[in-house]
Amino acid sequence: MGNIVAFDLGASSGRALLGRLTDGRIEITELHRFSNDPVQVGDRLHWDILRLYHEIKQGLLIAKNQGIEVNSIGIDSWAVDFGFIGKNGELVGNPYHYRDRHTEDIMETLFAQIPASVIFGRTGIQFLQFNTIFQLFALKQANSPWLQADNRFLMIPDLLRYFLTGEMHNEFSNATTTQLFNPVKGDWDAELLRLLDFPASWFGDVLQPGSQAGMLQASVCEELGIPSIPVYAVAEHDTGSAVAAVPATDRSFAYLSCGTWSLMGTEVHKPVINEMAQKLNFTNEGGVEGTYRLLKNIMGLWILQESRRVWEKAGKSYAFPELVQLAGAAQPFKAFIDPDDALFLAPGDMPSRITQYCHQTGQQAPETVGEIVRCILESLALKYRYVFEMTERLSGQRFNGLHMVGGGIQNTLLCQWSANAIGKPVWAGPSEGSAIGNMAVQWIAQGEFQDIWEARQVIRDSFSIITYEPEAQDLWADAYDQFLKLTGMTE
């Protein structure tokens, strides 16, 4: 079958993967991998959006130079972040990084104007200080020159698609994460926009995953020396693409997309917007084929990634497999953290912050590198159980186990400890879930798969899935009780 390319942009790196369907199996080949480094300018933290666009073009050039004729492309990335295109068709400013501090304390200011219950009731989205609604409100409070009425709001994949095609569209799965989209009405929430004094003209039409969103424009084709290629709006929030790639056999399943962030939940056909969902701070994000992802954000491997960066700056370089080995040899259950504590959100010295957290909660802080890594991974696994059980309660379902997808599944210790913590099997794979889900939506749009369930069957047949059975359940049950007590979590 024809060749398609998925551009999968994560918070720390991006990749271009080539996909082929051969004899009912998916074959993927990495064409290009590149770093995605935020840029600090004064007090502001930005994404280097033009560098990302450059790397996408490099991926297309590599395909050309390998003699590969690409039939279509799709782009997925992280959510919530955005830029504006001015009336002259040019990017107004470099998009802010969601970890930038300009949204600190902004939630309370907005809630004084619009109650949280009203916002949740109209959008079904969990409250995180970096959500698009808070970023835009912070820009408005700062009288940002970006916010002209005749500018157009585009999220990260929307921007990159615009650079490639010259067409401006918003995409469903990412639009829902803005906390400005009404999932019941299926469109931007006009009442919220009115209350916030956000011009409706900022926001454009919302394409469903699988819609063709344009063709490579002539200037791009001329620059790269390639023919025009269809560009599809896939599930452009990378979690939406990752969930599309979950190789589930049951229609009722729990998933964990594991990487810089961990996102755990289940797939539902209607958003769950009620008092319990707001209390548990769950979210309803758009998925493929009209589904919604009832899920909760967990800080994920960010804390480990930042710790490794701090050690590297101190002249101590560790590969991730080495860190996992050190953690496996360290004392178990020495200390616990809540990975979602606000202390761990911004970039910085995570080992010192873990020490600070432990002192604040009356624990002996981990000291060695192995102990610190073990503390992070054990705490993540235990937080997974907490959210897993909340997902069951909120959705009214019981899950036989947990599907883990994404780059984090290469950490076999975390996979095993997650099974131990939840007391049920963990099925890990595929690791390139977001890119494969991106491809699946392109193939569905082109008629190669009938629907997402046929795609999931082919994904299951194409990639190895590793099963982790729970071990030492009594020890992990005791550790969970301690974890809840020390972190102060209550349901």
Regarding whether 414 and 348 lie in a shared domain, the answer is yes
- Where among 233, 266, 294 does a domain terminate? 233
Regarding whether 110 and 9 lie in a shared domain, the answer is yes
Q: What is the CATH number of the domain that holds 421?
A: 3.30.420.40
Which structural domain, as residue segments, surrounds residue 262?
Answer: 246-429+449-491
DSSP H or E stretch at residue 185: none
How many angstroms separate the CA atoms of 467 and 424, rounded? Answer: 10
Residue 241 within a domain: no
pLDDT for the residue 371: 98
DSSP H or E stretch at residue 232: strand 230-233
Name every residue whose Cβ is closer than 8 Å to that of residue 453 and which is 6 or more positions away in sequence.
Answer: none
Q: Per DSSP, what are the bridge partners of residue 70? A: 3
Residue 111 within a domain: yes
Regarding whether 266 and 223 lie in a shared domain, the answer is no
- Where among 181, 208, 233 does a domain terminate? 233
Q: Are 423 and 476 in contact (CB under 8 A)?
A: yes
Q: Are 125 and 265 in contact (CB under 8 A)?
A: no
* Sole residue written with tokens 């400890």: 417
**Average pLDDT of adjacent 10-residue blocks, the chain of 491 residues:** 91 95 95 96 96 98 97 98 97 96 95 97 97 98 95 98 98 98 97 98 97 98 98 97 96 95 96 96 96 96 96 96 97 97 95 98 98 98 98 96 95 98 98 96 97 97 97 98 93 51
Residue 239 within a domain: no
Q: Please give the DSSP secondary-structure letter assigned to residue 472.
A: -
Regarding whether 250 and 229 lie in a shared domain, the answer is no
CA distances from 432 to 137, 240, 263 (A): 35, 13, 15
Regarding whether 319 and 213 lie in a shared domain, the answer is no
pLDDT for the residue 459: 98
Residue 73 within a domain: yes
Four-CA torsion 132, 207, 169, 57, nearest 10 degrees = 100
pLDDT for the residue 1: 55
How many angstroms separate the CA atoms of 364 and 218, rounded? Answer: 62
238 is an active site residue: yes
> What is the tally of structural domains in the chain?
2
Catalytic residue among 76, 238, 338, 340: 238
How many angstroms separate the CA atoms of 107 and 92, rounded? Answer: 25
Regarding whether 465 and 323 lie in a shared domain, the answer is yes
- Where among 208, 233, 258 does a domain terminate? 233
Collapsing DSSP states into helix, strand and coil, what is residue 470?
Answer: coil
Regarding whether 280 and 229 lie in a shared domain, the answer is no
* Token pair in block for residue 249: 């056999």
Regarding whether 226 and 264 lie in a shared domain, the answer is no
End-to-end CA distance of the chain: 50
Regarding whether 214 and 89 lie in a shared domain, the answer is yes
Residue 303 within a domain: yes
pTM of the complete model:
0.94
Rounded to 5°, the CA angle 483-487-488 comes to: 115
* Token pair in block for residue 152: 């157009």
Regarding whether 278 and 201 lie in a shared domain, the answer is no
